[in-house]
Amino acid sequence: MKRPFYHRKRNWTALALVIAAGLAYCFRGNLAPLFQHMGWEEIRATVHASGHWAPLLCILLYAAAAIFFLPTTLVGILVALLFGPWWGLPICLAGLALGMACPFLLTRYLFHDWVQRRIGGTRLYAKLTTHLHREGWKLVMFTRLLPINPFAPLNYAYGLTAIPFWTYLLASTLGVIPNTLALLWTSHAAGQLATGQLDARILLLLFAGAAIFALLAWLPRLLRRNDPNNATVTDR
């Protein structure tokens, strides 16, 4: 039986990340001068000197990426390099929360019929409504845990359902924390490695982020092994 596209995409993406990390480590000696030439310390100093405007801009960039179907990962990497994982986490969560709230509210109160015509008949929406009726907020959180998922379409699709807004937003925000932390940790550690900084803390962040990504990527398969009748909304 042919494997679903989602599974193939997940495996190829994981393989590409492993290869990229391996190449970056092997050629770290060549990458270090490049990053040093970019003057990251000067860039960080300039960003921090701008006060609250830089975090606010990153929050708006994150929200815009989520709203307009753009890759939020790139913004997350930028935040990790500029602010580090710990200061970057509230920035990313604020941007993601705004980016998940706006499509939901736009769908529910302004463009319900328009969105309904475009995604109301899709398999994704049919599975979403079926499982949401039974699982409620737990389904929302589960779909946010997965690192490879139709993130932007779900923001609009949930607006078509009957789930309360604050329940949706809280479950969504909590659900993206593991992925966001993993992205921030790995991006920050990779940036440190590229500039020639190698210590136990950096390696711990790198492997911790990679471990979280791997665990979340295999989460649907682990659940299906425990419950053969369990079909997630990511199955297409």
Distance separating alpha carbons of residues 153 and 119, to the nearest angstrom: 8
Ordered by start, the domain boundaries in the chain are: 5-226
pLDDT digits (tens, 9 = 90+) for 172-231: 999 899 888 888 887 877 777 666 665 556 566 666 666 666 666 665 555 555 554 554
pLDDT digits (tens, 9 = 90+) for 27-40: 656 555 545 554 55
Can you list the alpha helix ranges (DSSP code H) found in the chain? 5-26, 28-38, 40-49, 53-67, 72-109, 112-119, 123-135, 137-145, 151-160, 165-194, 200-226
Band (pLDDT 50/70/90 cuts) for residue 7 is: very low
For residue 32, how many other CB atoms are within 10 A of its CB? 15
pLDDT digits (tens, 9 = 90+) for 124-176: 788 888 888 888 888 898 888 876 667 888 999 999 998 999 999 999 999 89
Is residue 88 within 8 Å of 184, Cβ to Cβ? Answer: yes
User: CA dist 18 to 58, 75, 148, Å?
Assistant: 27, 21, 16
User: CA dist 188 to 9, 26, 29, 205, Å?
Assistant: 25, 18, 18, 8
Distance separating alpha carbons of residues 73 and 194, to the nearest angstrom: 19
In terms of C-beta density within 10 A (0-12 exposed, 13-18 middle, 19 or more buried), how is residue 69 classed? middle
Q: What is the mean pLDDT of residues 5-34?
A: 57
